[in-house]
Chains A and B, each alone.
Chain A
Amino acid sequence: MKRKELLAACMGLIALGSATAALEAMALQDAATGQVADPPRPASSLTAEDHPLDGGNQIDLRWNLSPDDSYVSAKARKEGAVKAVPHYVVQKSGKGATGPFEDVSRIAPDIWDYQRGSMKLTIEVERGEPYWFRVAAAGPGTSKSEFIQTTEATVAQREWFDGGRGWLALITVVLCGSVVTYIAAARRGMDLKVRKIAGLEAVDEAVGRATEMGRSVLFIPGIQDMNDIQTVAGITILARVARTAAEYDAKVEVPTSRSLVMTTARETVQAAFLAAGRPDAYNEDNIYYVTDEQFGYVAYLSGMMVREKPAACFYMGSFFAESLILAETGNSIGAIQVAGTAQPAQLPFFVAACDYTLIGEEFFAASAYLSGEPEQLGSLKGQDVGKLIVAAGLLIGCCFATLASIVFMTSGNEANVFAAWARFLTDTILQ
C-alpha cells in the first residue's frame, strides 16, 4: 500500500521535473578560452551579514563574480582552457576598516555560483566582535585585482536555535513521533503483528537446558560502559534471562568489565528475581567486576568457561575483537550460544560461531520482544516507519540524481533543476 503511493509520488515528480527541464533555458556555455585579463577586473557588491540561526560565530559573505570570471568546464580545462580567475582571495580584519587584513580563504566558485553569477562564503569569527572584509579576484600567476571592501563592521550574533539542524529536528520528531504513536496505540489495545525472530525462542530453551544439565548460564553484557546504548539494551535482555532463570531456578553468572555495569546489572537481576517471586534465590556474588581491560577480561572469561562449562552463553552488548575468542571457547565446551550486537565488524564472527545471532537492529528489537509487553512491540512498528522514510528518501534522491545526469547527458546542462533538487536533498535536508 505505502509502496504504491511512494511510486506514484515519484512518477509525479519525474513528470514535473522533465517539464521544467524542457522549460529551462540554455546551459552554461564554456568561456571563449585564450584571452586572459591580467590582472582580472575586481568582483563587485560585496556584502557581509551575520549568519542566520547559528551560535554567533559565523558571518556570510556574498559578492558578484568578476566580469572576467566565466565558467570553464572540466572538459574544456582538459583541452587546455585556462580560467581567467583561478580563485578569489578573501581577507578579514578585526582591527578596523583600514586593516591590517589577513587572508582567511582562497575559494573558487562552483558551477552553481556561475549560474547565479555570485558566490557565498561563510567565515568563522568570534562572537560579538566587529569584523571588516575584502575580496579580490586572483589572476593567473600572482596577479590580483583591486580589493572590494565592506564599509561598516559586521558583528556575529547568537540565536536561540541552530538553523543548520532544523531538518534534523524535524526528522527526529517524525521518527520519535511514529514510535510514540504506535506505543500509544498498543496501549489502547490495538494488536500489532510482528514477525518472529529466530534466536529469541532460543533464550528460554537455552536456560531450560542449563537447568536440566545443572549447569550455570553465562551472560556477558559486552565490554562497553553504561554510556553505550548497546549495554543498556543488553541489560534489558539480561532482565528477561534472569527472570526465566529464576523461574527455572538456574544459576546466572554475570562477569562484567565495568564497575557501573556491575552495579546496574545487580539492580536488574535482583528486580528480575523479585518479579519471578524468588528474591531469596538472588545471589549478588554471581554478578561481579573483573577488569576494564578488554583482553584481561577475555583471558578471565575463557579460563572460567573452560573450567565451569556453562551450558548456555549469552553475548548481548557491544563487542570488539574478543567476540570470536568467546564464541570459539564457548563452542569448544559445547554450550548453546546466543549473541546479539550492533558492532557491524563483529557480526561475522558471531554469525560463524554462535547458534543464533541477533543482527544489529534485531538486537535492539529483542528486548521489546522479550518483555512481552505489547506497548514495547509498538516501538518496532515505529522503527519500520523509519525504514519506510529511508526507502522513500533513497528512491526520490536516486530519481533526481538519475534524471539530473540524463538531462546533463542530453542538454549538456550540468546545473539543471533535478541536480538542484538532488543537491537540496543531500546537502540541506540530509546534511
Chain B
Amino acid sequence: MYEFFKTLDRRWIFLLMALAVATPILLELQFPEEATGLAQAVFDEIDKLEEGDPVLLAFDFDPASEGELGPMATAFTRHCCEKKLKMYFMALWPVGPQMVDDAINKVIRADFPTLIYGQDYVNLGFKSGNEGVIKVIVTDLRGLYTTDDRGTNINEIPMMKGINSVQDFKLVINVSAGYAGTKEWVQYAATPYPEKIRLVAGCTGVQAPLLYPYIPEQLPGLLGAIKGAAEYEKLVIEKYGGTDPDPKYLEGIRRMGPQLIAHLLMIALIIAGNIIFFIEKSRERR
C-alpha cells in the first residue's frame, strides 16, 4: 500500500482529476453552498434597498468569461427584479450590451414579463473610453448617454427622470472580466464619492486577488469567480427561489460541482502526499 503510494504513477492522479471533474458535469451534481461573508455582504447591499430604488448594473465582460460571470449577471438581475428595483444597464466593453440583452431575455422577459422597458429597466448600452467614461458619468451621466442602446432619446425614457449622474443611483453593481472593470469603478467612482456611491461587484478568479485591498471600505462586497456566483445564487434562491428553482438560476451552483470535487481532491492529495512524506521520514529515522 505505502509502497504503491510512494512510487505512485502520476497517471493515477490524472485519472482521479478527470473523474473528479467529469462526473459532476455528467450527473449535473449540485452541492450545498455556504455563503461566505463577502457574498453575504453583496446580497445584503442589494436586499436592503427599497422598492423602486434606482440601481446601475454595469456588465463589463464578454462571451469569453461568460462561463464565470454569466451566472452572476443572471442572479443580480433576478435579485433586482424580485426587489422591484429600477434597473439601468450599461457596459464599458463593446460586447457588453449583448451580455445585458442575454440577462434581460433570460430573466426579465422570461420570468418578469410585467416589467416594462423604459419604466422598470433600461439598457444604456456601450460607451467607449474605459475609465474615462466612469470619470465623466460620476458627475454627469447625460453628458455621455444622450440615447439608450435602442437609440431612444434619454429624455423620452420615463425612468431617466432625476438620474443625472452615477451618484443618483442607490447602488452600482459591476460584473467585470478585467480592464475596464471593477478596479476602475472603485478608483474613479467609489473612492472619490465614498458617501454617494455604493459599489458591489462580481469578477473573475484572476481579478479577485487584485481587488481584496479595496475590501470593505471602497468595495463592501465581492463575488469571486464561479464560487462567489454559486454562493450568491444560493442566497437569492433561499429567499426568492421557491420550491423548484429554474435551472438557469443554478448555473453557478451547477458549475461549482466539478470545482468542489476537484478542490476536495487537491486537498486530499496534499494531505496524502504529506502522510507519505512523514512515514518516509520516520522510516529513515529508524
Contact = CB atoms under 8 A, between A and B. Distances in A.
Interface of A: 74, 77, 87, 103, 105-107, 332
B208 to A, nearest CB: 13
B195 interface: yes
B139 interface: yes
B195 A74 contact: yes
Contact of B140 (A74, A77, A103): A103
Interface in B117-173: 139-140, 143
Contacts of B10: 332
Contacts of A74: 194-195
Contacts of B195: 74, 77
Name the residue among A77, A106, A332 with the largest chain B CB count within 10 angstroms: A106
Interface of B: 10, 139-140, 143, 194-195
Contacts of B194: 74
A66 to B, nearest CB: 18
Contacts of A106: 139-140
A105 B140 CA distance: 8
A262 to B, nearest CB: 30
A218 to B, nearest CB: 20
A332 B195 CA distance: 56
B142 to A, nearest CB: 10
* The 10 A-B residue pairs with the shortest CB-CB distance in the complex, in nearest-first order: A106-B139, A77-B195, A103-B140, A106-B140, A332-B10, A103-B143, A105-B139, A74-B195, A87-B139, A74-B194
Nearest to A345: B206
Contacts of A87: 139
B23 to A, nearest CB: 24
Nearest to A110: B192
Given A103-B140, A103-B143, 9 more contacts: A74-B194, A74-B195, A77-B195, A87-B139, A105-B139, A106-B139, A106-B140, A107-B139, A332-B10
A103 to B, nearest CB: 6
A105 B195 CA distance: 19
Nearest to B136: A105
11 contacts: A74-B194, A74-B195, A77-B195, A87-B139, A103-B140, A103-B143, A105-B139, A106-B139, A106-B140, A107-B139, A332-B10
Contacts of A332: 10
Nearest to A102: B143
A250 B278 CA distance: 39
Nearest to A103: B140
A103 B136 CA distance: 11
A81 to B, nearest CB: 12
Contacts of B139: 87, 105-107
B119 to A, nearest CB: 24
